[in-house]
Structures are given as structure tokens and as C-alpha cells.
Structure 1
Amino acid sequence: MRSSSKRGIVDVVTLGCSKNLVDSEQLMRQFDALGYQVRHDAEKPDGEIVIVNTCGFIGDAKEESINTILQFADLRKQNKIGKLFVMGCLSERYLNELSLEIPEVDKFYGKFNYTDILKEIGQEYRADLRLERKLTTPNHYAYIKISEGCNRTCSYCAIPIITGRHRSRFIEDIENEVKGLVASGVKEFQLIAQDLSYYGQDRYKSLKLAELTERLSDIQGVEWLRLHYAYPTQFPYDILKVMRERDNVCNYLDIALQHVSDNMLGKMRRNITSAQTYELIDKIRQEVPDIHLRTTLLLGHPGETEEDVEELKNFVQKVRFERLGAFAFSNEEGTYAYKTYEDNIPDEVKQNRVNEIMSLQQTISAEINQTKIGKTLKVMIDRVEDEYFVGRTEYDSPEVDPEVLIPTSTEGVRQGEFFNARIFDATDFDLYGN
């Protein structure tokens, strides 16, 4: 039976985080250079080649990845797509099991050998394109992955099992990648890693996040640099001076704290105390008074008591993070928590605790947004949606943070450009400007 897949088309489907997205973009550039038509997250993928880039971080993400693979395996069986390849974190972690259980997949690849897909179809990897990507984001912003892996030993986290130890990229490589993207029209860069704080320690024997950020901010055409996923222990305080003094380094920091009670910080193996956490936040806000902090909190880890939850609620109300997300503990096999603790907090209780934290944060976010009414803020326009131009300030990262809505009746506004917007209204999570 003849395949109904479309020849010359490669469909890439990316699940999970922005670090996965960078991997997809690098692979897509290789196929693009070979003359394929490359599509990303198409509405109905039906290419000659379909590649699913999976996430394996927590239970919900694993379930989504498996369901997506099964969906395409069924299409492969029906001859509605051509070759089916799977890559990424889930297949890195469960390569043998997946290969046995889903034989419809032509081949599984891990997190780091996915360029071997090219060999499988009789093509060669082009090393001269290693710093190039086919962007899936709007042309004006991009994610820059500065390292892989993680050396931390948090009790709940499977990332080190999947990605291995921390490996920093060379500063010069990152500079050259950014220069190439600037030449193609990119103005805004999100620096990402599993652990920004540790950047440089393995390769240069000292923390280099501040130096890297300075050097990138010196590149002409870089208008915004934003930092994601710092770790609180051994925090590189010299980055704060760079943030304060460089106009194109956004006053924004994503730093996952997870909890605040000493009981839970100990059980989670975070190597920091409650007092040190408060000191860290105070120091950051003293050094960069205008900073917006994003954090993530973990609820329902084994051993968490109602007293721990109350302490966390008080922390959230006292510190008043500008941006905050919370998620429930997922008992991941192979982790310290999986081997050491009993996962005896019911899922419903975990989710209720998450909801309580997010309810507090909704009130805080609304109050912080109200303080911005009457202010004029620099805004990058991402897209047009219904009757609004949708943009972001330096305090807002794509996909996860509040947006600024400007009526499309406003003259002269264009996607991918910066504009000054005067804020005239605010909701819990969005601003309205003109």
C-alpha cells in the first residue's frame, strides 16, 4: 500500500521545555539545509518524516509524551505518515522499554544522539551548521542554551538521571551563536540552562555567568537579555551588578526556590536554609531594586506537614514574588525521594496545596499589576490576537509571564518592534496600554 505521507516534508513535534525546543531547532536547520520543507507543531503532521521530541521530567509530562508517540505510531501503522523517530528526555530515560513496547516507531534516540537521525535516512550531519537553528519562535526572540546537565542532587528531580552532569558551553561558541541570530533579526534572548548559577565552574573552574552576560550584552543588536533557571545555592552575586548597570540586561530573574521551611529544604536536599533564602532575596532586591523575580514552588513532597505549608504561604505573602508557579510532587523512579521516602500524601491534598499557593499569588499579582497603571513601559510586540497587539515588558518572558495588550486601532505598531506603552488598566495577570 502506498504511503499517504507528503514527500519532502519533515514534521517536528516538540514537547516539554524551551531547552528541548532548542534541540528541535538545531535538528530542523540540518533538514532545512538538505532541502526538506520543515514544519514545527503542525496542526496535522503527515510528513515523509515525523520526529517527536519528548519530555520525561514528571508524571504528567511523561504521560503526554507517551500519548503523543502512540498517536503517531497509529498513523504510522495506517501508512498515513512515513518514517517515525522519537528523541528527547523520555527516550533517553526509557530507550529499551519504549523500543520493545512501541515497535511502530522506526527508531528511538536519546537526548544527545538525535543528529544520528540524519544517518538513518542516508544523510550526513553538517558540523558547519552546529551554531545555526531554524527558529520556531517569532523572528525577534530566541532561546540560548548555555549548558546541559546538572550537578545538584535534589531529592525529587530526575533531570541529572536523564542529562548527566553539568556541561557548560564555551563562551565564544555562545557569542558566535548570538551574533548569527542578531544578523538574522533577533533582538531578544532568553538565556536558559538547568542551572544558570553553575555556568562556567566545570569548564573554567570559576562561575562565569556574569562574564558571559556582559560579553553578550556588548554585542551590537542585542536589545534584551533575560535569565532563566538560576539555583539559589552558590548563587553568582556578581550577575546583579551586570543586571543593574547594563540597560539591555533585563531586571528579571527566574530562580526556582521550591520551598522555604527548613524541614522541607532538608528533605529536598536543597543545601540552603530558610534564613539563607530570605537573605538571598533581600540581597537581590537591594542590588537591583527594580527586579522582577520569578520562582517555582513544589508542594506535597514526602514529609511535608501542614505547618510547612503554612510557613510557605507566609513566605509567599511576605516576599511577594512578581511571578510564581507551583506544581505537585511527582514520585520519579530513580530519584533519592523515590528510593528513600514513602509517597504518602494523597494527590488531592497535593493539588489543594498547589491551588492555595496559586490563589495567594493571584491576589499578589493583581496588586502588583495595579501599581503599573499610569506608567510608561518599553514593550516588545509579539503578535496580533483578535483586537489587540500582544506584547511584553522586560519583566515578562515569553509563554509564562503576563502580557501587555494594545488595541489594534493604535497606529504605527508592528510585530517584532519595541514601543513605549502607557498602561491604563490591569487585570490579575495582564496589562492594557496605548
Structure 2
Amino acid sequence: MKVFFKTYGCQMNIHDSEIMKGLLKEAGHEIVDKIEDSDLVVVNTCAVRRKSENKVYSLIGRLKKGGHKVGVTGCVAQGMSEKLSNYGVEFILGTRAIGSIVSAVEGLKKIDLEDRISEIDSQTPVLRNQKKHAWVNIIAGCDKFCTYCIVPYTRGRELSRPLSDVINEVIMLAKNGYKQVTFLGQNVDSYGKDLKDGTSLAKLLELSQAIDGIERFWFLTSYPSDISSDLIKVVGKYPKISKNFHIPAQSGSNRILKKMNRRYTREEYLEIVEKIKKEVENSSIGGDIIVGFPDENDDDFEETLDLVKRVRYIRLNVAPYSPRPGTVAAKYYEDNVPFNVKKTRMSRLNEIQHSIEKELNEALINKEVEIMIENTARKVSYGRTIDNRMVAVDEIIPEGEMIRVRIEDFKFGTLYASSRRVSIFA
């Protein structure tokens, strides 16, 4: 069967699709790049925001109207299977049942929401989107239960992969010519806590960086209070490990953080950021903010603005609050911040963030940076610095090459370097 994948959401979803593609290919099915060439469309879904969920229903409706066979996987499949059944889809596969994709495609399973995520390991076939950069899931699920978040209900409780199995996968990736690895988890720095055998993200990174062939290691996403001193020390010590920490704050107000059930205060968050900046040379911070959480007033928002100014994020994702079915916030809190207020606050926050990014990028003009090429498009190559800044170079350079360039300009969050300033080295 010819199968097309449409994937929404985070890097975890992207990698889940890679795993399902690998399993299908091994079973003799063909993965195609165009919907019109397919016998079946698999929609891998995201439910973290209402807008993401609505996109899924809209796409499924259009596909079914066009006569396409549709299978649904991911967070919407896990949390809204009854609603999806009304759309007449071929199958519904939960987030922890992706190993059943072959049975589902071959018509042996209609609905599978069982937890068999532990069956996915280093021996599971994966059809990766990139040739030199690999995603590696190291921990599934989330135990934090933030009041606004649907992830613990759709992804389940935290479950870490054995350290030896992750290391085996990294070794295989190195043998297959991969140059970069990103370790993934809803709370990536919770890795190993459930194993109770001394496994940790810090230990995994330290062991992995010693493996020949892989030149860069990334990790995301971090939960503030789970970032350990050992992790910060390891990141600062080894040059192969990314100096970027993506640490969602969600709010700068202690009152709102408490209503969100975030397990830290603004003071503790800022202390963690300061520790990273002090101990990790050339480090950078990325983050997420939710605007318009129930009862957020002007003073709460001003505290968030102040936090953003203090942290000076290299990149910040800003989104309006939207109630998610089944969460504490949806059940007990009124969504009482008008949308026009949310929109205004988002605009103010983005304006400040853009100003900060402009200052951070201006500081790099005429300076040399080292980047690893990740992809090319229209005679331009794109690579990232070790602190997660995207750089465009006006020359086609092979993926995986490490190069040094001089920054000449920046625009919309991307730095630009001329090929005349490029030096390639082994």
C-alpha cells in the first residue's frame, strides 16, 4: 500500500512518524511524498492547542470528502477517539501504540489506544527525514500535570528508555554517518528518574559525546525545576553538546504560575537561567509563554514582560491560552481574558522579544561563527551554531559539513553569511 504522512505538532510527533514510516517500509509498504499518489493518508495529530486540533478535523473532513482513506494517530487520536470515529476514518492509533501501525494499515486494528511504547527501541526500523541529523526519543510522557496541559492525558506518564538502549542507537547512528543527534522528551531532563538506577540526562550526554562520529548533541524540552547542576556542568564542559536550553516559563507571575501548577516561582526560574549563563560559556535560552491564562491581569502580564526582558531569550514561542478538554483549567477556570486582550498582549510581548533578538543578532555582525549544515534550498545552505542560531549561507554545501562563516546581516531571526567568507574544515 502507498502511504502518505501528514504530521502536526512537536518534534516528538515528527519522530513518531519516522518510526511508523520505518515499520511500514520494513513490512513492504511504500511511503510516498504526495497525497495524490497515496492509497492511504496517515494524519499524525497534535492537541496541545485548540487551533492545532481544529486543523486536524478540517483536514480529515477535506480528505474524506475527496475520497481518501484516512488513518489517525497522535494526541487527538489518543484523547478524542470517540469524536474521530464519527469521521469514518480507517483506524485510530494512540500515542503509545505506534508500534501497531502495520496492523492498523493492513486493516487488522480499528482502534488501538494501548500502551506498548516500551516495544519501541534501538532495533525498531526508522525512516528518518534527514540524512545527518537524527531525532532520538529518550523519555515518553509527562508527570507534571500543569492545569492547562493535555499532554499527560494524551502521552501518559513518564517512561524512560534504558540508558544502554539509547547509547546503542547513538552508536548505530554514528556508524550510519549521522553527525547530529537531538534527544527528545516532553520533559527531557526528567530522563532516568523513573529508572532509579542513576541514569540521567547528564550521564547520557557525557557518555554520548565520547562516541566518535557524532559532532553535536541537542536536547529538548526542559522543565525548569528538573534542570540539575550536573546537567549544567556537563553542558558547559563538553564542546559537542549544545549550549542552548529551551526552558518554557509560561508566565512571569507567581500567582499565575501557581494557578498553572508550574512547580517553581519566577525567582527560581531566573536563578536557573542565571546559573546557566554563569557556568555555560556562550549559552542561550529559548522559551515558551502562554498569554491570557484565566484571571491574568495587567500586573501579571507586566511581570511576564519583565521576565522576558531579564532572560533575553534567543527565541520565544508565544501563544494565547486555549482551554483543552479534560484539563483542570478547562474544568474549573473560566476563560475570562477576552481574545482582543490576549491579542494585544501577544503583540506587546512579541515586539519586546523582536527587539531583544535584534540586539543579540547585531552583536554577531562581522564575527565568525561555526555552524553545521542541516539543509539546502534554492542555492542557500542553512546551519546552526552551537547555541542554536540559524545561519543562511549563499552556497550549496553538503549536509553535515562543519564550516566557519563571518556573519554579515540578519533578518526575521536568521543570520546571513556570504560564501566568500566560508572556510570548510574536517
TM-score by length of 1: 0.89
| In 2: Cα distance, 1:430 partner to 1:84 partner | 37
| CA drift at 1:204 | 2.0
Please give the per-residue CA displacement for 1:235-260, whole angstroms capped at 9, x wherever unaligned: 22211111111111011111111112
Map 1:51-130 to 2 at 5 A: 51-75=42-66, 78=67, 81=68, 83-99=69-85, 101-103=86-88, 105-120=89-104, 121=106, 130=123
- Alignment of 1:405 with 2:389, yes or no, is no
Which residue does the alignment assign to 1:375?
Answer: 367
1:191 to 183, 188, 197: 183
Determine which of 251, 259, 265 is the counterpart of 1:267.
259
Contact 2:375 2:399 in 1 (8 A): yes
Aligned counterpart, 2:236? 244
Q: Which amino acid aligns with 2:411?
A: T
The alpha carbon displacement at 1:47 in A equals 1.5
1:283-339 superposed Cα distances (whole Å, 9 cap, x missing partner): 111111310110111110001110111111122122211221111111112111112
Once the two structures are TM-superposed, the CA of residue 391 in structure 1 deviates from its matched residue by 2.0
Q: SS of the residue aligned with 1:201?
A: coil
Asked whether 1:11 is paired with 2:4, we answer yes
C-alpha distance after superposition, 1:17-48 (max 9, x if no partner): 11011111111111212233213xx3434412
Q: State the alpha-carbon separation in 2 of the partners of residues 313 and 46 from structure 1.
A: 48
Deviates more, 1:338-347 or 1:197-206: 197-206
In structure 2, the residue matched to 1:38 is 31
Matching of residues 187-266 of structure 1 within 5 Å: 187-204=179-196, 208-266=200-258
Q: Deviations 1:329-370 (Å, cap 9, x if unpaired)?
A: 111121111122111111121122112111111011011001
* Range with bigger deviation, 123-132 or 217-226: 123-132
Is 1:414 the counterpart of 2:414? The answer is no
TM-aligned CA distance change 1:416 to 1:263, over 3 Å:
same
| Normalised TM-score (structure 2) | 0.91
Q: Which moved more, 1:423-432 or 1:311-320?
A: 423-432
Deviation per CA, 1:358-386, whole angstroms, max 9, x where unpaired?
A: 11110110110011112211112223333
The one-letter code sitting in structure 2 at the alignment partner of 1:384 is T
Name the residue aligned to 2:18. Answer: 25
**C-alpha distance in structure 2 between counterparts of 1:185 and 1:71, whole Å:** 40
Asked if the contact 2:324–2:330 (Cα under 8 Å) also holds between the matched residues in 1, the reply is yes
Q: What does residue 38 of structure 2 align with?
A: 47
Unaligned runs of 5+ in 2: 110-115, 422-426
* Distance change (3 Å), C-alpha of 1:294 and 1:207: farther
SS in 2 for 1:72: helix
Structure 1 gaps, min length 5: 1-7, 397-401
Contact 1:326–1:358, Cα closer than 8 Å, also in 2: yes
Match of 2:338 in 1: 346
Please tell me whether the aligned partners of residues 226 and 253 of structure 1 are also in contact (alpha carbons under 8 angstroms). no
C-alpha contact 1:26 1:130 (8 A) present in aligned 2? no
SS of 2:195's equivalent in the other structure is helix
Cα distance in 2 for residues equivalent to 1:143 and 1:352: 36
What secondary structure sits across from 1:226 in the alignment?
strand
- Structure 1 equivalent of residue 424 of structure 2: none
Measure, in 2, the Cα distance between the counterparts of 1:128 and 1:295.
30
Determine helix, strand or coil for the equivalent of 1:421. strand
Q: Deviations over 1:390-419 (max 9, x none)?
A: 2221222xxxxx5212122x8xx3333111
What is the deviation of 1:123?
Answer: 8.6
Q: Is the 8 A contact 1:192 1:229 kept in 2?
A: yes
The 1:32–1:123 alpha-carbon spacing in structure 2 relative to 1, beyond 3 Å, is farther
Contact kept in structure 1, 2:23 and 2:124, CA below 8 Å:
no
Q: Secondary structure at the match of 1:150?
A: coil
The alignment status of 1:146 with 2:138, answered yes or no, reads yes
Identify which range, 175-184 or 218-227, moves more after superposition: 175-184
Relative to 1, partners in 2 of residues 1:43 and 1:14: Cα closer, same or farther, differing over 3 Å? same
- Distance in 2 (CA, whole Å) between partners of 1:234 and 1:51 is 35
TM-superposed CA distance for 1:127, in Å, is 7.9
Structure 2 residue aligned with 1:424, among 405, 408, 420? 408
Partner of 1:385: 377
Label 1:145 to 1:117 Cα distance change in 2 as closer, same or farther (>3 A): closer
**Structure 2 residue identity aligned to 1:96:** E
AA partner of residue 47 (structure 1): S
Contact kept? 1:267, 1:303, Cα under 8 Å: no
Judge conservation of contact 2:247–2:285 (CA < 8 Å) in 1: yes
Q: Which amino acid aligns with 1:335?
A: T
Alignment CA distance shift 1:341-1:222 (3 Å) = same
Match of 1:377, SS?
strand
